[in-house]
Chain A
């Protein structure tokens, strides 16, 4: 029976994941410095957004844990 894979599947998967993580690291590096000028309104808006999302996440986690338990 001929060899199907050039390399063991485990090694191929590892290689694939490594290349994906490398791409993600490159994206993070590319956009590391936000281009928008951090004016007062930008700072306040992003802060409010973080608070809003935090509340939503807490509510979601609470709901789904109570649903499961």
Chain B
């Protein structure tokens, strides 16, 4: 009897904990899965086709780094109850505030264009015309936010996050050799040695895993969800689960192209999906669906990031818990970003390659600034109290930031001057 009572007690405790987790979970999983956006999927498919399984270890390594950065935004949001844009204005003054806000707005808008490029390319594989894709996606994105409840929006987005796991069955369908994956992918090494091309692939993978908009998004979403200091442990679990998801999706994506397209030059995920369809129709179709889903998730989160940030600074009502008529500027900014980005994609002869290049450089410019502000804010005792960074968190945090600043600068210079790095 006492054994049964103990078992029941244990079951109740686990069920209660799980229920609590399911209530709090959301921002962490969403930001991490949305991080695998259209550009991310393109990078993973190209990495797999170029290096086979050789860089899987690097993707695994990026998971904890992304977690460490995002965990800091959780604490900052839960303690200050402010978004990242407002926190920068408040702590560092108007110069740094406007710099961050304008740079974020520009990077987000340009990234949004690349998400639409990804979505139209994915659906064109199923013969859906770009105009229909753009209109359909804009309506869907409108429906997702217009119901006036953060909770409903979050659950809808989590469904799309689940669809992102489509790369797992795709990887099983290609029957990869598990021993090859472990032999070639788990031990850290650089296939073909360190050269300019490998460096670019490493940096592209870092850029898709840690992006400036993620810092702004998760902090605003923690605030919009009204999470408190007591929720921080659960939100940490949420972020860790999200980091695991993002790594799993990236690794399985690499396995798909690493198995079937190894050595074949791939320029985009849509091109990879098209190449895969004659080999295995299901795998090609899954890749295209995954690409569309990744673009949609990225587009939803990125446009919301901009609306939240501008709402915080300009003092507009800026919550998904408001109806459109209660927060017209917030929703207006959201739709303006979507419609303008979608229009650019539809203009014949738009400089899409130049836009992609510009996105990379602008994101790299904003990332060190966002990370430095994050670390300085997390060390402010007056602001963070007992939730400020510990010595260990600072050592890890500063090491990551310094590493990213050096690598990003080299990457940025390399993108602009390809011949300079050899």
A residues engaging B (CB < 8 A)? 23, 27-28, 31-37, 41-42, 45-46, 49, 52-53, 55-56, 59-60, 63
Contact = CB atoms under 8 A, between A and B. Distances in A.
Given A36-B91, A37-B382, A31 B97 contact: yes
A63 B417 contact: yes
A43 to B, nearest CB: 11
Given A31-B97, A52-B368, A53-B369, A60 B92 contact: no
Interface in B274-324: 313-314
Contacts of A23: 314
A35 B94 contact: no
A62 B224 CA distance: 41
12 contacts: A27-B314, A28-B94, A31-B90, A32-B93, A32-B94, A34-B92, A35-B383, A36-B383, A37-B380, A49-B372, A60-B361, A63-B417
Given A34-B92, A56-B412, 7 more contacts: A27-B89, A31-B97, A34-B93, A45-B375, A53-B369, A55-B409, A59-B413
B355 interface: no
B266 interface: no
Given A31-B94, A36-B91, A45 B372 contact: yes
Nearest to B90: A35
Contacts of A33: 93
Interface of B: 89-94, 96-97, 99, 313-314, 361, 364-365, 368-369, 372, 375-377, 379-380, 382-383, 405, 409, 412-413, 416-417
Contact of A45 (B91, B314, B364, B376): B376
Contact of B89 (A31, A37, A45, A46): A31
Contacts of A32: 93-94
Contact of B412 (A36, A45, A59): A59
B376 A42 contact: yes
Contacts of A27: 89, 94, 97, 313-314
A52 B93 contact: no
A36 B375 CA distance: 12
10 nearest CB pairs, A to B: A34-B93, A36-B91, A31-B89, A28-B94, A63-B416, A56-B365, A34-B92, A35-B91, A31-B94, A35-B90
A59 B405 CA distance: 16
Contacts, number: 62
A68 to B, nearest CB: 12
Contact of A52 (B361, B376, B405, B417): B405
A60 B416 CA distance: 8
Nearest to B382: A37
B79 to A, nearest CB: 14
A36 B377 contact: yes
B381 to A, nearest CB: 9
A45 B398 CA distance: 11
Contacts of B409: 52, 55-56
B92 A36 contact: yes
Contacts of A60: 361, 416
Contact of A31 (B93, B376, B383): B93
Contacts of A49: 368-369, 372
A13 to B, nearest CB: 17
Given A27-B89, A35-B90, A59 B314 contact: no
Contacts of B97: 27, 31
Contacts of B417: 63
A27 B383 CA distance: 21
A34 B94 CA distance: 8
A55 B94 CA distance: 21
Contacts of A46: 92, 96, 372
A23 B99 CA distance: 17
A23 B311 CA distance: 13
A14 B413 CA distance: 42
